[in-house]
A and B are shown apart, each in its own frame.
Chain A
Amino acid sequence: MSLEAPQGGAFKPRILVFSTHNISDPGIDLAGSRHMHYPAPVSTIAVPCSSGLKPSWIVHALQAGIDGVFIASDGDECAYLPDCSERTARIASQAQDLLRAKGIEPQRLKMAAVCSVCAESFVKYMNEFSHVLAELGPVGTIAA
Chain B
Amino acid sequence: MTEERRIGVYICHCGGNISDYVDVAAVREALKDEPGVVVAETTMFACSDGTQHDMINDIRGQGLDGLVVASCSPKLHQITFRGVSKRADINPYAYTQVNIREQDSWAHGDDPEGATAKAIGLVRAGIAKSRNSSDLVPLVVETTSATMVVGAGIAGLRAAIGLADVGLHVYLVEREPTLGGWVATFGAMFPNDQDGRQQIAHLTEEVAKRPAITVFTNAELVGKSGSFGNYVAEVRINGEPSETIRATVGSIVIATGFDTYEPEAGEFGYGIEGVVTLPEFKAMVDASDGTLTHGGKPVRTIAYIYCVGSRQPAGGNEYCSKYCCAASCHASLEVGKIDPSIHQYHLNRDIRTYGKYELLYTQSREQGSVYMRYPDDTPPTVELTEKGQLTVTTIDALTQSEELAIPADLVVLVTGMVPRANEGLTGLLKLPVGDDGFYNEIHPKLRPVETVVDGVMIAGACQAPKTASESVGSGLAAVAQSAAILKKGVAELDPLVAVVNDAACTGCGECLKGCPYDAIDQTMCDGRTVALIIPSVCKGCGGCVPLCSEDAIDLLGYTDVQMRAMIDSLVEVAVS
Same complex origin of A and B? yes
Q: Does A10 contact B (CB under 8 A)?
A: no
Within 8 A of A (CB), among B211-269: none
Within 8 A of B (CB), among A1-57: 12, 14, 16, 21-22, 25-26, 28-33, 35-49, 51-57
- The distance from the CB of A77 to the nearest CB of chain B, in whole angstroms, is 7
Q: Does B574 contact A (CB under 8 A)?
A: yes
Q: What is the chain A residue whose CB lies nearest that of B121?
A: A43
Q: Are the CB atoms of A91 and B546 closer together than 8 Å?
A: yes
**How big is the A interface, by class?**
35 or more
On chain A, the residues within 8 Å of B111 by CB distance are: 37, 39-40
- The distance from the CB of B8 to the nearest CB of chain A, in whole angstroms, is 22
Q: Complex: how many Å from CA A55 to CA B563?
A: 12
- The distance from the CB of B554 to the nearest CB of chain A, in whole angstroms, is 10
Known: A48-B540, A52-B545. A117 touches B555 (CB 8 A): no
Q: Complex: how many Å from CA A43 to CA B571?
A: 10
Q: Complex: how many Å from CA A49 to CA B74?
A: 16
Q: Are the CB atoms of B75 and A26 closer together than 8 Å?
A: yes
Q: Does B420 contact A (CB under 8 A)?
A: no
On chain A, the residues within 8 Å of B115 by CB distance are: 40
- The distance from the CB of A6 to the nearest CB of chain B, in whole angstroms, is 11
On chain A, the residues within 8 Å of B435 by CB distance are: 117
Q: A58-95 toward B: CB 8 Å interface, digit per residue (1/0)? A: 00110111100000000001011110100100010010
On chain B, the residues within 8 Å of A48 by CB distance are: 496, 540-542, 555, 558
Q: B532-576 toward A: CB 8 Å interface, digit per residue (1/0)? A: 000000011111111000010001001010011011101111110
Within 8 A of A (CB), among B106-123: 106-111, 113-115, 117-118, 121-122
Kindly identify which residue among B101, B117, B496, B567 contacts A60, using a CB–CB cutoff of 8 Å: B567
Q: Does A116 contact B (CB under 8 A)?
A: yes
Q: Are the CB atoms of B114 and A41 closer together than 8 Å?
A: yes
Q: What is the chain B residue whose CB lies nearest that of A34?
A: B106
Q: Are the CB atoms of B102 and A29 closer together than 8 Å?
A: yes
Q: Complex: how many Å from CA A41 to CA B105?
A: 12
Q: Complex: how many Å from CA A39 to CA B432?
A: 27
Q: Complex: how many Å from CA A144 to CA B566?
A: 19
Q: Are the CB atoms of A40 and B567 closer together than 8 Å?
A: no
Kindly identify which residue among A36, A45, A51, A52 contacts B107, using a CB–CB cutoff of 8 Å: A36
Known: A52-B555, A57-B564. A44 touches B546 (CB 8 A): no
Q: B437-476 toward A: CB 8 Å interface, digit per residue (1/0)? A: 0000000000000001100000000000000000000000
On chain B, the residues within 8 Å of A116 by CB distance are: 432, 452
On chain A, the residues within 8 Å of B452 by CB distance are: 22, 26, 116
On chain A, the residues within 8 Å of B118 by CB distance are: 40-43
Q: Are the CB atoms of B575 and A52 closer together than 8 Å?
A: no
On chain A, the residues within 8 Å of B568 by CB distance are: 64
Q: Complex: how many Å from CA A52 to CA B554?
A: 10
Within 8 A of A (CB), among B78-94: none
Q: Are the CB atoms of B558 and A66 closer together than 8 Å?
A: no
Within 8 A of A (CB), among B97-143: 99, 101-111, 113-115, 117-118, 121-122, 125
Q: What is the chain A residue whose CB lies nearest that of B432?
A: A116
Q: Are the CB atoms of B542 and A47 closer together than 8 Å?
A: yes
Across the A-B interface, how many residue pairs have beta carbons closer than 8 Å? 148
Q: Are the CB atoms of A32 and B103 closer together than 8 Å?
A: yes
Q: What is the chain A residue whose CB lies nearest that of B494?
A: A48
- The distance from the CB of B389 to the nearest CB of chain A, in whole angstroms, is 47
Q: Complex: how many Å from CA A26 to CA B74?
A: 10
On chain B, the residues within 8 Å of A60 by CB distance are: 564, 567
Q: Are the CB atoms of A28 and B103 closer together than 8 Å?
A: yes
Q: Complex: how many Å from CA A77 to CA B433?
A: 13
Q: Are the CB atoms of A57 and B542 closer together than 8 Å?
A: no
- The distance from the CB of A137 to the nearest CB of chain B, in whole angstroms, is 16
Known: A16-B567, A40-B111, A45-B563. A54 touches B106 (CB 8 A): no
Q: Are the CB atoms of B103 and A37 closer together than 8 Å?
A: no
Q: Does A107 contact B (CB under 8 A)?
A: no
Q: Complex: how many Å from CA A26 to CA B573?
A: 30
Q: Does B73 contact A (CB under 8 A)?
A: yes
Q: Complex: how many Å from CA A52 to CA B453?
A: 20
Q: Complex: how many Å from CA A60 to CA B561?
A: 12
Q: Complex: how many Å from CA A35 to CA B452?
A: 22
On chain A, the residues within 8 Å of B108 by CB distance are: 37-38, 40
Q: B408-450 toward A: CB 8 Å interface, digit per residue (1/0)? A: 0000000000000000000000101111000000000000000
Q: Does B313 contact A (CB under 8 A)?
A: no
Known: A29-B99, A51-B546, A82-B516. A65 touches B106 (CB 8 A): no
Q: Complex: how many Å from CA A4 to CA B566?
A: 29
- The distance from the CB of A33 to the nearest CB of chain B, in whole angstroms, is 6
Known: A32-B103, A43-B121. A52 touches B110 (CB 8 A): no
Q: Are the CB atoms of B107 and A54 closer together than 8 Å?
A: no
- The distance from the CB of A36 to the nearest CB of chain B, in whole angstroms, is 7
Q: Are the CB atoms of B117 and A49 closer together than 8 Å?
A: no
Q: A89-132 toward B: CB 8 Å interface, digit per residue (1/0)? A: 00100100000000000000000000011000000000000000
Q: A32-B104, A48-B541, A81-B543 are in contact. List 13 more A-B contacts (CB 8 A).
A: A14-B571, A22-B430, A26-B452, A29-B103, A32-B106, A38-B108, A39-B114, A40-B113, A41-B114, A45-B566, A52-B555, A55-B546, A141-B575
Closest 8 CB pairs of A and B: A52-B542, A40-B114, A80-B541, A32-B102, A32-B106, A29-B102, A32-B107, A49-B541
- What are 6 contact pairs spanning A and B, CB under 8 A? A16-B570, A29-B99, A32-B101, A40-B114, A81-B541, A81-B543
